[in-house]
Copies of this chain bind each other. A is one copy, B any other.
């Protein structure tokens, strides 16, 4: 084949093979979705670029989402792959305004995994599901030979009900909306990173892995339809969520860097490693867009809860262009672009 004839399936980034960055929640992954998955899978029922899809089954409206978890290492301060697999999927339902009801679990085990480790992970899943009020309804197990997997991968699919509350969608964001975060950013990514061989460093940072169901429901109850959109800031962190908000709504998002809560230990670790805390994954933090007049009430409701005690107003939406503009601590402005990928692979 002549190089002139080659039509790369992911044109802008020119990949021929899957790279780690294709799974990292940034530009490369967005292109993989746009150029390979959507042309084959898209249909009117698939809610593009939402965390969960809304479906009608008979007279009922349900929300559905699926997520695979490949975190390395399996166990880290504040959680393990089991707590992640439950909370990650539960949170994707919650941020769409749904009440999580049911979960399925699919395990891919590597030959040689200690059954005691599997028991510990399964116990975490059971406990996290009870805490989030969801039931297990289906499961599957596959085993691959040693060296063809990595201890354990878990897929969870979640079903929720929209009987109560309004559906939240990043397409609902309007100019004037206030943008809030529910707490300090970057804890999960730094907690996992600190456990990696070759990178181990001393930190007391724990993963923030938790169900955000109560946070979302509290804001829904307090401000009703003034609650427009919500996302959990996982792969790609706050930066990815804000860019998704801007793209979906067409709004320009003006963010105050000094207003974004980051723990000093996370900030230090990021400075040491050359990482941007705003692009690092969280597993129990939400970003909210609410009508400006409801912002104070939403903040108050978040701050009452332990998980939301550091909630902050970080900026507001204005009329386009669809981009995220960060006002730095020095008073300058820069565009916060979607990263090519989160800098930390296998964080969830």
Chain A residues near B (Cβ < 8 Å): 9-10, 15-24, 29, 32-33, 36-37, 40-43, 45-46, 52-53, 55, 57-60, 62, 64-70, 72, 101-102, 104-116, 118-119, 122-123, 125-126, 135-145, 147-150, 153, 155, 157, 159, 161, 163, 345-346
Q: How many copies does the complex hold?
A: 2
| CB-CB under 8 A for A57 and B46, given A17-B112, A32-B141, A115-B18 | no
Q: A64-B102, A143-B23 are in contact. Are A57 and B159 (CB under 8 A)?
A: yes
> Given A57-B57, A58-B59, A137-B53, do A18 and B110 touch, yes or no (CB 8 Å)?
yes
Query: In the complex the two chains form, is A36's CB within 8 Å of B138's CB?
Result: no
A139 to B49, CA, bound (A): 10
* Interface residue from B125, B137, B143, B346 paired with A20 (Cβ < 8 Å): B143
Q: Is the CB of B111 within 8 A of A18?
A: yes
Q: Which residue of B lies closest to A150 (CB)?
A: B148
Since A64-B159, A157-B157 are in contact, a sample of 14 more A-B pairs with Cβ atoms closer than 8 Å, ordered by chain A residue number, is A10-B115, A18-B109, A18-B118, A20-B145, A23-B144, A36-B118, A41-B105, A41-B126, A46-B137, A52-B138, A57-B159, A58-B60, A64-B104, A67-B140
Q: Which one of A59, A66, A72, A112 has the highest number of Cβ atoms from chain B below 10 Å of its Cβ? A: A66
Q: Are B114 and A41 in contact (CB under 8 A)?
A: no
A66→B147 CA distance, assembly (Å): 25
Please give, as numbers and ranges, the residues of chain B lying within 8 Å of A57 by CB-CB distance: 57, 60, 62, 101, 159, 161
A41 lies within 8 A of B150 (CB) = no
Q: How far in angstroms is the closest Cβ of chain B from A249? A: 22
A161 in contact with B58 (CB, 8 Å): yes
Structural contact, B145 and A148, CB atoms closer than 8 A:
no
Q: Are B62 and A115 in contact (CB under 8 A)?
A: no
CB closest chain-B residue, reference A61: B58
**Interfacial chain B residues near A114, Cβ < 8 Å:** 16-18
CB distance B33 to A141 under 8 Å? yes
When distances are taken between beta carbons in the complex, the residues of chain B under 8 Å from A22 are 109, 141, 143
Contacts of A55 in B (CB 8 A): 102, 137, 159
The residues of B that contact A43 with a CB separation of less than 8 Å are: 135-136
- Write out the residue numbers on chain B whose beta carbons fall within 8 Å of the beta carbon of A125: 40-41
Residues on B with beta carbons closer than 8 Å to the beta carbon of A155: 66, 68, 106, 140, 155, 157
In the complex, the 7 A-B pairs of residues with the closest C-beta atoms, listed nearest first? A23-B143, A155-B155, A66-B104, A157-B157, A40-B126, A58-B60, A41-B136
Docked complex Cα distance between A139 and B68 (Å): 9
The answer for the CA separation of A110 and B37 in the assembled complex, in Å, is: 17
